[in-house]
Amino acid sequence: MIFTDQLNNTIELNAFPKRIISLVPSQSELLWNLGLREELVGITKFCIHPKELHESVTLVGGTKTLNIAKIRSLKPDVIIGNKEENDQAQIEALQKEFKVWMSDIFTLTDSLSMIEGIGELVGKKEEAEKLTSQISSSFKDLKQTHQTVLYFIWNKPYMLAGRATFIGHLLEKIGLKNCISDINSRYPTLSLDDIINLNPELIFLSSEPYPFKETHVKELQKRLPNTRILIVDGELFSWYGSRLTHSVTYFNKLIKSL
């Protein structure tokens, strides 16, 4: 069986994999939800959902700081990673020894393609198609709001989600205009003065990767008194696997509160 990943790499398997290592939290959760409880033998320390997955599967380091020796000891049939979330040099090293399937996600369409591609790879085609159908159907009910926004992913320096990002794509689907969509950087770093000059109607402070708290809301609110500043669930804006089944319900509640 020959499979092509989202970077147009091909891998050949003689049978569906019985030993899988996942290097991305959202894709680990996806594999678990597709029913691969026994086949998942390795995940990263950031693969925290569901709790049972994190507590029962061997950890192989961080998404960008993989323990290659630990991965090697697990003897995987296939490794599943992502271009943005994993370190290129480490992935290239793994490709010399193992079958590696890579995703590359910018849009909802990319995520649905990834889910179905992984479903085919691991022998869960029907389950994956059912999941993508459920996600696609839910997004038909997505409400919209037309305001300007900045989406923070890191604090001091302030790093934001910009153009050509999955987060930015979902903001657009909600109808929001990203104030930094014209900046030629996917995750630009801005000064507080830059942010004040952009004068967004909304600021979303993501719960991850940086865990923004109410103290950060108050800190920014002093300098941006006319901006609505909210902490949002970063997983529902950035996890592009099975967690997308919950995103629209969350987005619609968020929109209603604005």
Helix (H, G, I), strand (E, B) or coil at 132: helix
Residues spanned by CATH 3.40.50.1980 within the chain? Answer: 2-138, 148-257
Q: Which of 228, 230, 189 minimizes the C-alpha distance to 213?
A: 230
Distance between CA atoms of 146 and 209, rounded to whole angstroms? 26
Q: Which two tokens stand for residue 174?
A: 């909600």
Strand segments (E) across the chain: 2-4, 10-12, 20-22, 40-43, 58-59, 78-82, 100-103, 148-154, 158-160, 177-178, 189-190, 202-206, 228-232
Mean pLDDT for each consecutive 10-residue tract of the chain (258 residues)? Answer: 97 96 98 96 96 94 96 97 97 97 98 98 97 98 97 96 95 97 92 96 97 96 96 97 97 96
The whole-model pTM stands at 0.95
- 151 φ, ψ (degrees, to nearest 5): -115, 110
Q: Which of 62, 93, 79 minimizes the C-alpha distance to 5?
A: 79
pLDDT at site 176: 97
The architecture of the domain spanning 2-138 is 3-Layer(aba) Sandwich (3.40)
pLDDT at site 8: 97
Distance between CA atoms of 89 and 169, rounded to whole angstroms? 27
pLDDT at site 110: 98
Give the class (CATH, top level) of 148-257.
Answer: alpha beta
Q: Which two tokens stand for residue 238?
A: 């950035």
Distance between CA atoms of 148 and 178, rounded to whole angstroms? 6
Distance between CA atoms of 134 and 139, rounded to whole angstroms? 9
